[in-house]
Amino acid sequence: MHETDIHDLSDDADYAASQQQGSASIMRSDSGRQSSSSEPDGAEVVYSKDNVTIHPSQLASERISGRLKLIKQGSALFMTWIPYKGQGSNARLSEKDKNLYTIRAVPLTEVRSVRRHTPAFGWQYIIVVLSSGLAFPPLYFYNGGVKEFLATIKQHVFIVRSAEDANVFLINDFQNPLQRTLSSLELPRAVSVVSDQSVSIDVGESPLDESQESSSRNVRDGRLSTLQYNGRTRLKPQDPARDLSIHVLEKFSLVTKFARETTSQIFGETHNNGFGAIEKRRYNHQSSIDHPEKASNSAEKAPELVPVAADPLEFDEAALIWGKPRQPPLGPEEWVSFLDSEGRVTDSKALRKRIFYGGVEHILRKEVWAFLLGYHAYDSTYAEREYFSVLKKSEYETIKNQWQSISPEQAKRFTKFRERKGLIDKDVVRTDRSLPFYDGDDNPNVNILRDILLTYSFYNFDLGYCQGMSDLLSPILFVMGNEADSFWCFVSLMERLGPNFNRDQNGMHTQLFAISKLVELLDSPLHNYFKQQECLNYFFCFRWVLIQFKREFEYEKTMRLWEVLWTHYMSEHLHLYICVAILKRYRNKIMGEQMDFDTLLKFINELSGQIELDAVIRDAEALCICAGENGAASIPPGTPPSLPIDNGLLLYSQQDDEVL
Amino acid sequence: MATRRRMLLKVIILGDSGVGKTSLMNQYVNRKFSNQYKATIGADFLTKEVQFEDRLFTLQIWDTAGQERFQSLGVAFYRGADCCVLVYDVNVMKSFENLNNWREEFLIQASPSDPENFPFVVLGNKVDVDGGNSRVVSEKKAKAWCASKGNIPYFETSAKEGFNVDAAFECIAKNALKNEPEEEIYLPDTIDVAGGGRQQRSTGCEC
């Protein structure tokens, strides 16, 4: 709904001008309140730092460097960050991409806080949070200068160090009533991060406490009234503030395109109940309504149930870098543009990026999945692929013949074969039978499913057959149609997911462990909660991981998710971030209702069919960006679906078990 | 939510893949049978309120994946169980032969405080198939095995037809209840994995 506005802010001419003239042209953005009062020649650059860089993804090649400036204009101070143009190392990024992140003259009056991060290793960075609750992506100071940056701000605007966190600097222009309202509503740091022992929240010492109630009444009396059961303790002010921020952003367009886009996302999602915050608020209210007497006590003593530690990301990183809006799926016309005249994919990275953000139309899946899965090479030609398929078909027939030629007499003496076949027979008749493609008696596709799985269990005799494989194969056969191609695509997939089915379950344990590390990194209160509930084994995510959410979404959506995951665009392990994204969506419900392991497992199982796919993909993208290198470091090397790191000879433990 | 529970009885259903664990559970709890149940991945449970001697209990019935490869998950799912139901398919010999493995694996993983007296119930399912003509495990054989394991109660069932399912679960509930201390208990959210302090008594089922 704000699309047109977005473009107003970032048209190329304006961008180019800002590049050439630096501060002067920046003031000339559009219809915002500043532009009317500002004269270009009144601006003075009071701080300028080169090589301040944004990391939109984990990929070093996608970092965007630029110049950060503080500009004084009369009594007002503005911050800008303009990416360098046409930088060699950023060749992969389009100017449009860069433009997205440009920070174009944000008045410091709209900045609520600056959070400074000074990791022991790596670059210092800051996260700038706006009054609206939005934040810019972390700005990494490759050449240092964070201290100087803060010192410069201090010379021009009122800035205080947060009492809660010495690395957070609060910036408030108390002359501005709107600003005052906004800042008094925003209490992100007022919520202490829980200790291991308790999930209680104490905001009694919040410096902004006093103005809280009056300002919330000012804003939305109706909306906030239910919060009064437990008073300030439970005040989760982000929603009214965000509503307000939309007004702010609409009236004063002196915000970046990025912030705007984010805002329109929030706004857009309000309608379809998409983003977690809305959900969270509802759950919070429910729990407080359900137990008013309990909640009312919570102000005095540490309450047992209701209060939930705030999501640490809600107000900083993730608030801004919510994943980009999903795009429509890749269609035939656009697909052709990725191919050269002989059918080679010229830029596989661009293709994978495109699919990451929108998936592919069903009609193209047959062709595209073969690339994504690694069955066909991106640089193969039409002719080569055709030839390759013929070869592979005959190879498939050879393997298939190995079990087809087993006579009944031989089978009698071949327990392993009989049992394996029995298990597969049992599972294929209960795999997606409600789909027309697999339904009805004697459906030939069910037989093909069986043949492929049995052939696979001979191709990879050590791994054999394991429940869940039929779920993974079903969409592949549905898409590919052809038996041999489906088999080889499945083989490619199992190269990555095979460890999920190892007898010792190590592939699963590694992934569940990685999820626990990521939750610890991205939502420590939730992590502490799981720890306290002895849920750190994350077995409640078992089904999600084992079969890549196959049972959690309807068929079409599963296919969409899989093609997104298979791009490995943001990370090979996006599925783990999807797990975290879903958990975070329901974190307040999980903690608010004090779910124990059993309840949690049931709750998670029953989420099947309820999860909004696009929203969690976006959340996962954002989480992946937020987690950055720390996230990647949380995932042990070789964690599926990474290709195994050993030499391939001992991929699967060979110890026998009863069945198989 | 609140941790005080009105007598929660936890029951675990085990047995080979495809013997009908999910179907039995759904037949008992929802009185439904479907040909389209999917293979269980991980674990799930259903609950049912049951009344017994004027007291209400919540029966929590756990359905688990049947493939042995997933047995290592049992540690998480079996803890705090009050009764274990071993299911086999009367038409598949191997599923009967595996009962012993399932029983032993359960005792290892759940490590109840009194494994000798931990209540099991055995169900021979799918007696409806082919009018009983494809049956390969006789009732006599099954009962003999049950007797050898400390008089485990035995039922022949058909989840599809609903045959004997209620009777079986009634017995299961009674046995689970016997596994509980008599007084109403307070179940903390985190169950002591060692299960210490929870007395066990009872043996077979009188029903």
pTM over cut 0.80: no
- Amino acid B136: pLDDT: 97
Is the distance from CB of B41 to CB of B19 less than 8 angstroms?
no
Q: Is the pLDDT of residue A293 over 50?
A: no
- The 3-state DSSP class for residue A360 equals strand
For each of the domains in chain A, give its residue range(s) and CATH number, in order of start. Answer: 43-174 (2.30.29.230), 333-500 (1.10.8.270), 506-634 (1.10.472.80)
Cα dist from A15 to A11, A19, A415, whole Å? 6, 6, 72
> Which residues in chain B have Cβ-Cβ distances shorter than 8 Å to A659?
16-17, 67-68
- Amino acid B137: pLDDT: 97
Please state whether A534 falls in left (phi above 0), alpha (psi between -120 and 50) or beta. Answer: left
- Do residue A594 and residue B3 have CB atoms under 8 angstroms apart? yes
Q: Encoding tokens for residue A127?
A: 């996260």
- Do residue B17 and residue A657 have CB atoms under 8 angstroms apart? no
- Strands laid side by side in the A111-117 sheet: A103-107, A76-83, A64-73, A43-54, A139-141, A124-130, A111-117, A168-171, A159-161
Measured CA to CA, the distance from residue B91 to residue B154 in angstroms comes to: 16
Question: How do strand B55-64 and strand B43-52 relate by DSSP bridges?
Answer: antiparallel
Model ipTM?
A: 0.86
End-to-end CA distance of chain B: 35
- Do residue B42 and residue A546 have CB atoms under 8 angstroms apart? yes
pLDDT in tens, A59-79: 667 778 889 999 988 888 889
- Do residue B41 and residue A423 have CB atoms under 8 angstroms apart? no
User: For B68, which of A422, A598, A657 is closest by C-beta distance?
Assistant: A657
pLDDT in tens, B146-204: 999 999 999 999 999 999 999 999 999 999 988 766 544 454 454 444 444 333 333 34
User: For A467, which of B1, B35, B67 is closest by C-beta distance?
Assistant: B67
- Amino acid A310: pLDDT: 79
Higher pLDDT, A103 or A395: A395
Task: State the best of A511, A659, A660 to mutate against chain B, taking most chain B CBs within 10 Å.
Answer: A659
Query: B10: nearest CA in chain A?
Result: A598
| Residues forming beta bridges with residue B45, ordered by sequence position | B62
Measured CA to CA, the distance from residue B152 to residue A50 in angstroms comes to: 78
DSSP H helical segments within A136-275, as ranges? Answer: 146-156, 177-185, 209-219, 221-224, 238-251, 257-272
**Which residue's structure tokens are 């964690």?**
A639
- Do residue B190 and residue A466 have CB atoms under 8 angstroms apart? no
- Give the pLDDT band (50/70/90) at residue A269: very low
User: For A426, which of B17, B42, B76 is closest by C-beta distance?
Assistant: B17
User: For A503, which of B44, B69, B98 is closest by C-beta distance?
Assistant: B69
Q: How far is B44 from chain A (nearest CA, A)?
A: 6
**Closest CA relative to residue A625, chosen from A576, A571, A587, A589:** A571
User: For A467, which of B3, B17, B92 is closest by C-beta distance?
Assistant: B17
Task: State the best of B41, B60, B94, B99 to mutate against chain A, taking most chain A CBs within 10 Å.
Answer: B41
Strand segments (E) across A1-145: 43-54, 64-73, 76-83, 103-107, 111-117, 124-130, 139-141
For each of the domains in chain B, give its residue range(s) and CATH number, in order of start. Answer: 7-178 (3.40.50.300)
Is the distance from CB of A623 to CB of A314 less than 8 angstroms?
no
> Which residues in chain A have Cβ-Cβ distances shorter than 8 Å to B76?
537, 539, 597
User: For A430, which of B1, B37, B101 is closest by C-beta distance?
Assistant: B37
Residue B122: Cβ within 10 Å count: 25
Measured CA to CA, the distance from residue A597 to residue A539 in angstroms comes to: 9
Q: How far is A512 from chain B (nearest CA, A)?
A: 12
- Do residue A431 and residue B43 have CB atoms under 8 angstroms apart? no
Query: A434: nearest CA in chain B?
Result: B36
Cα dist from A52 to A20, A65, A84, A157, B4, whole Å? 18, 6, 10, 22, 55
Q: Encoding tokens for residue A438?
A: 């697999």
Measured CA to CA, the distance from residue A339 to residue A348 in angstroms comes to: 10
**Which residue's structure tokens are 């201390």?**
B181
